[in-house]
């Protein structure tokens, strides 16, 4: 009989998840830990990150919070080298850190443009730059970059976010080409609206109220509900598992049919 746990091959792996103090990143960290993965929570929000770390440990999982500003190369290098030293290898990198600033090109400030691109796109470059060498030395690995439905199509009043996530998606394809020979799979998961603090922030930036009426509007899609972090986490898990050995350079849309 097929043993799915053996097929997945995730127990005992080590994963770095950026932006894991809340939202989708926290959901991924919790799901991975529940499957026996040792999770390194990388974020700058100490309070929330330590809360996620504590919850995972109380549930019997393995987690470690490491403060890291993913827009700073020194932080990314220190994180990657430290994890590789403590755990002997880095099996998985999930680049989830991101910032959304809801503006058109007319109203967006240069500082907010820089923030969105640095946190959302530059961080993928910096973390991958310093994790890939460790993966190569250990014979391979899995990288999943968190994109967005707006990596594949445009969105209103979200010019910096669309630019950053579009860059994440095309960077994913380029990395898959470069590092396929190193046995490193690189894929992109593109969520739709997920019930997270980021979605609440976007709503409020646009002058709305994050209430049940707003959530109902976000749920107007074929699956007729708002997404949850776990919906994304399960798809990221699949791409990082032994069930997707020949999947690389791919984009998996997880949005309940929103852009179908």
Over the stretch 169-202, which tens digit does the pLDDT of each residue have?
999 999 999 999 999 999 999 999 999 999 999 9
Residue 100: predicted pLDDT: 96
203-222 pLDDT tens trace: 999 999 999 999 999 999 99
* 141-146 vs 184-191, strand pairing mode: parallel
Q: Are 166 and 121 in contact (CB under 8 A)?
A: no
191 bridge partner residues: 254
Taking alpha carbons only, the member of 160, 173, 164, 166 closest to residue 122 is: 164
The fold adopted by the segment(s) 13-192+230-253 is Rossmann fold (3.40.50)
Confidence of residue 250 (pLDDT cuts 50, 70, 90): very high
Q: Are 17 and 39 in contact (CB under 8 A)?
A: yes
Show the 3-state SS of 181-225: HHCEEEEEEEECCECCHHHHHHHHHCCCCCCHHHHHHHCCCCCCC
Confidence of residue 3 (pLDDT cuts 50, 70, 90): confident
Q: What is the mean pLDDT of the segment spanning 5-29?
A: 96
Domain ranges of the chain: 13-192+230-253
87 is catalytic: no
- Catalytically annotated residue among 87, 161, 210, 214: 161
Tokens of 238: 């699949």
Based on the number of CB atoms within 10 Å of its own CB, is 231 exposed (0-12), middle (13-18) or buried (19 or more)? buried
86-130 pLDDT tens trace: 999 999 999 999 999 999 999 999 999 999 999 999 999 999 999
95 bridge partner residues: 145
């Amino acid at each position: 009989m097929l043993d799915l746990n053996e097929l997945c091959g995730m127990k005992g792996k080590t994963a770095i998840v950026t932006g894991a103090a809340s939202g989708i990143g926290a959901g991924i960290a919790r799901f991975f830990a529940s499957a026996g993965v040792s999770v390194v929570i990388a974020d700058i929000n100490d309070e929330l990150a330590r809360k996620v770390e504590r919850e995972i440990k109380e549930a019997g999982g393995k987690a470690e919070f490491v403060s890291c500003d993913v827009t700073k190369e020194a932080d990314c290098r220190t994180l990657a080298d430290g994890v590789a030293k403590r755990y002997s290898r880095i099996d998985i990198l999930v680049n989830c850190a991101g910032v959304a600033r809801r503006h058109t090109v007319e109203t967006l400030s240069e500082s907010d443009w820089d923030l969105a691109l640095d946190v959302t796109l530059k961080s993928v470059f910096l973390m991958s730059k310093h994790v890939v060498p460790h993966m190569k030395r250990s014979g391979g690995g899995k990288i999943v970059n968190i994109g967005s439905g707006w990596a594949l199509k445009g969105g209103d009043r979200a010019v910096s976010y669309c630019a950053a996530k579009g860059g994440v998606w095309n960077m994913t394809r380029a990395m898959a080409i470069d590092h396929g020979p190193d046995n490193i799979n690189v894929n992109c998961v593109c969520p739709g609206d997920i019930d997270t603090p980021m979605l609440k922030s976007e709503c409020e930036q646009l002058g709305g109220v994050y209430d049940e009426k707003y959530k109902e509007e976000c749920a107007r899609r074929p699956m007729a509900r708002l997404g949850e972090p776990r919906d994304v986490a399960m798809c990221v898990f699949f791409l990082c598992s032994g069930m997707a050995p020949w999947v690389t350079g791919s984009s998996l849309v997880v949005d309940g049919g929103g852009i179908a």
